[in-house]
Structure 1
Amino acid sequence: MWDWSPVLTSTVLQGWEPLLQALRRLEPAGPSDPRAQAVLEPWKTTTALQAGDLVELAAVQGPVAAAVRIAGAPDAGDDGYAMVLHRLVAAGPAAWTTDVPAVLAALQRPGLAAFYLAAAAAHADRPGAFPSGALPAAVAAALEVRRGPGETAPTVGFDGVRRRPAGVFFADQALFDLLTAAWRAAALAGDQERAVCRTVQKPSPTSANTPPAPPPPSASATRAAPSTSPSPTPPHPSRARPAQRPARSGGPAPVRRVPR
């Protein structure tokens, strides 16, 4: 409770005030903001460049230098760089989101750009991320990155499951996460917001070429339509019931005598 008290509302902290006041007397500076703590995630090395070395490079020479190093790696097209860029942005979200176009130019590859934008969008709520004017530029960059691959058909992986390419998946994630952050912060101008809405709502080429399904028939047409079911088959003559003779009028029916 003490560690999370800086971000919890007064309603949640109700009843904990005496304890929190006693802890503040012992530690006047208070607890650190938990949103500023590094996110610990399990990972394994699958790329030629180590995330730890790139974090040090970015701290000394800046994110653009680290992006150039990633673009020049022998396995720069490996999907494992999605996690590498995620760790880099998590280590310095303010530095990595200040000049998004410069980082994208250094990464060069569309797949790396999608990985980077998705990582930046995931840390959009971190303190210092996307300083003034940087979020609209990131949204515009995400739109361009997403337009690049177009409609890419899914591929079958080693396990037989059909999946979209990782770059397309991360480009979609980056675009919609950045749009969410921008709309929450009211960071988009009117013209840019309208352009974004037109792009997001535009149907894909595959759906545009698909003919619409015919409308279902109305209830009146269904009742008026003649039946197409075959007429019932008449019974066999041997199974037909004999017609009954009508009774004579004016008296009782005759009685048949059985001969002896």
Structure 2
Amino acid sequence: KIGCLVADAAIKLGMNVLGYDPEITVDAAWSLPAQVKKAASVAEVMKHSNFITLHVPLVDATRDLVNADNLALMRAGTVLLNFSREGVVSEKAVLASLNAKHLGWYVCDFPSAIINGHDKVVALPHLGASTAEAEENCAIMVVDQLIDYLEHGNVSNAVNFPKVAMGRESAYRVAIANANVPNMLGQISGAMAKAGLNIHNMVNKSRGDMAYTLVDVDSPVADTVLHGLTAIEGVLSVRYLPQ
């Protein structure tokens, strides 16, 4: 969401915006201004941008996303802005690039002993989530998302689960956490079909070794069916969420 807002603000400032997101959601895509050009890779963004801003979580795939190799791809004088997570940028590589007068500026809100005091570094306090307003909004968001998970099985902003959301189209929903292995959906749908349940809607998303499935069916689900789903190899948990 923040990346979309930054892209919109940059376009309003008259900039040409190039973006890359291999896991962009439908909602995020709808939020993007039509003028944003889609890059095919991180390298393409690095090569063709004068200002680069990062909006990613810190996970294994993004750790040191900006490293010596990617910095070498940047245009001389590029301004790098990191207001996402400290670990997505290699500070040692940034310092070397600044000292070589290749990277123009580094702007972040993660002051550290490595970069503090450099005349081409603007290090701001990391206080965005510590204001009274931010803490209140975060508390409301957490409660809303927890209620949505408990009542409907939808998952938002989990650190170890994929983002999954499906609008209710039936009063009978089953939420299944399972290993991300082949034929899992086939086994789940097969078990429900064997019990005479008609699947009205289904969504399945994965994240690494984990997957999460929501299934809406047209009639109540018996305990025997739930036990059968739980017994499938690779199924970690099954929750029945009738309305």
Please state which band the TM-score falls in when normalised by the shorter chain. Answer: under 0.3
- Give the number of the structure whose residues are more often helix, by fraction: 1
TM-score for the superposition, normalised by structure 1: 0.24
If asked which structure has higher relative contact order (CA below 8 Å, sep 6+), I would say 1
- Give the number of the structure whose residues are more often strand, by fraction: 2
TM-score for the superposition, normalised by structure 2: 0.26
Larger Rg: 1
